[in-house]
Amino acid sequence: MLVLPALAHANADVEKNIADPKNWAMQAGDMYNQRYSKLKQINTGNVGKLQVAWTFSTGVLRGHEGSPLVIGDMMYLHSPFPNKVFAMDLNTQKLIWKYEPKQDPAVIPQMCCDTVNRGLAYAEGKVFLQQADSMLVALDAKTGKVVWSVKNGDPKLGAVNTNAPHVFKDKVITGISGGEWGVRGYITAYDINSGKQVWRAYSTGPDAEMLMDPQKTMTWTDGRMAAVGPDSSLKTWQGDQWKIGGGTTWGWYSYDKATNTMYYGTGNPSTWNPAQRPGDNKWSMTIFARDVDTGMAKWVYQMTPYDEWDFDGVNEMILADINVKGQPRKALVHFDRNGFGYTLDRTTGELLVAEKYDPKVNWATGIDMKSGRPIAVKKYSTAANGPDVNTKGVCPAALGSKDQQPASFDPNTKLFYVPTNHVCMDYEPFKVEYTAGQPYVGATLSMYPAPQSHGGLGNYIAWDAGTGKIVQTKAEKFSVWSGALNTAGGLSCYGTLEGYLKCVDAKNINKELFKFKTPSGIIGNVFTYEHKGKQYMGVFSGIGGWAGIGMAAGLEKDTDGLGAVGGYRELNQYTELGGSLTVFTLPN
């Protein structure tokens, strides 16, 4: 019998839903993580007239990240811990069902940087929720009843979850948090119909457990792609340190149907005291390209070998077809916590561009394009200075030039719009013993605005990924911790930590066209949809996340919240705790 090669296809239901711009059917609006909408009823000419259409309180007072999903007449909303889910009929604004899991509150202290949740996924009549306690749950979209649930990790060991699940093909993909507890990171694919585990790939350890082929998995070496070779991770750790080595996977994932490849980043190695884990600590801080069906790694690229600053590599990979140095490329663009914006060929894994997207970045002078390694500056090396020495003036701070707040890509301007942090730090590592289920950090941090600059903690920037250059910068008082949205109406919109939703002209981001103060600080992601012929735009407000942890968790000491409390102390003069969705539209 003739066996035809199977065509790579995404999930047909998800594809159909994201093809209709009236929906907001995935956290990033699409599988490429572009956060772009073709809707243009709200545009540069009329956005200034936006009014609040309606609001909704989630009843939870912690950091609200992610955004609701809209499929047809239904909106699905989520909350931080206890991870409530609401299904709302947009015709009547009636709640059709509500799901509130019974989670052990002992999970809360196991979450390093607030009890956030980055949102839901939807496919084939099911809503997928990744709970904080690591339970991955499939809910019936009509009734809210649990179809299946599966335990993804052990919260008693610090393996908790904050990420949004993603549906690619017949699988729901989820990660794990807990790098600050010595959790060994992994990513897992479950069958969307049964919840059965299909594959799991670790970030560190033996090749077989990382789903890595020493001969076929490629990496950028000496100016070209070469096979990683056997034991590529084990060789870069001392003894069994890889077993508690971090490399967690709580960011956003993207998918390229043409090659059946998913992309994601891995986080910092554990502990934050580099003296305790000499070596490159592969494959923490790494961009992974994996086959969705098997989980096998096609290529890897480590951004910050032997991380000494907690520059977690989990930020989203944006897939876009752009010109890079004059040549058309199928690109992957990644704004890393380490302050460098990377452009890679997403098919081959070749490194194309790596440049600073905040001029204040000083821990490295640049990236050596031949080796792909950062050219680190000794003065800012916490490893060279050693434990119990306070390394001062490192830029960026541990929360990076950008954290999880996702950037957007505008196919009209061909630019990337990046919410950034403009923050530096002092970093003092110390020896720490590993105890299962206890924090395994080993560093004291202080954060503050980048010196000799505009005095604020944030910038909103437009970036050319083909050349690695900042095209425009708009200064902000606080970090921009909200996900960006660009639309066919010529807009680029984002939220601020004080609580403003702002829309600017995508061609000139310093032209502020709309500004509205929501009830609390915004760390949610701006989204848009159309209902009954009208375009709406919305965003969660609810201060929290790492930047707002002082307010969210009532912390006082400057070095609390891994150093963020002191850096963002002034926030409480501008906003208060909250948990609500604000939806805007044009007047009739």
Q: How many residues are given for the chain?
A: 588
222 catalytic, yes or no?
Answer: no
322 close to 331: Cβ distance less than 8 angstroms? yes
241 close to 319: Cβ distance less than 8 angstroms? no
**Token pair of 254, please?**
């993207």
Burial of residue 400 (number of CB atoms within 10 Å: 0-12, 13-18, 19+): buried
Q: Tell which residue, 568, 573, 243, 559, has the closest CA to residue 403.
A: 568
- SS3 state of residue 333: strand
Considering the candidates 114, 207, 310, 464, report the single residue annotated as catalytic.
Answer: 310
Is there a cis peptide before residue 80, judged by omega within 30 degrees of 0?
Answer: no
| Phi/psi at 180 (5° precision) | -80, 0
| Phi/psi at 312 (5° precision) | -35, 130
Please tell me the distance from the alpha carbon of residue 469 to that of residue 445, in angstroms, as a whole number.
30
For 465, residues 6+ apart whose C-beta sits below 8 A from its C-beta are 320, 322, 324, 331, 333, 341, 343, 353, 416
**Token pair of 334, please?**
């990644």
**Token pair of 276, please?**
């305790």
**Token pair of 395, please?**
């830029």
Burial of residue 45 (number of CB atoms within 10 Å: 0-12, 13-18, 19+): exposed
Q: Which residues are catalytic?
A: 310
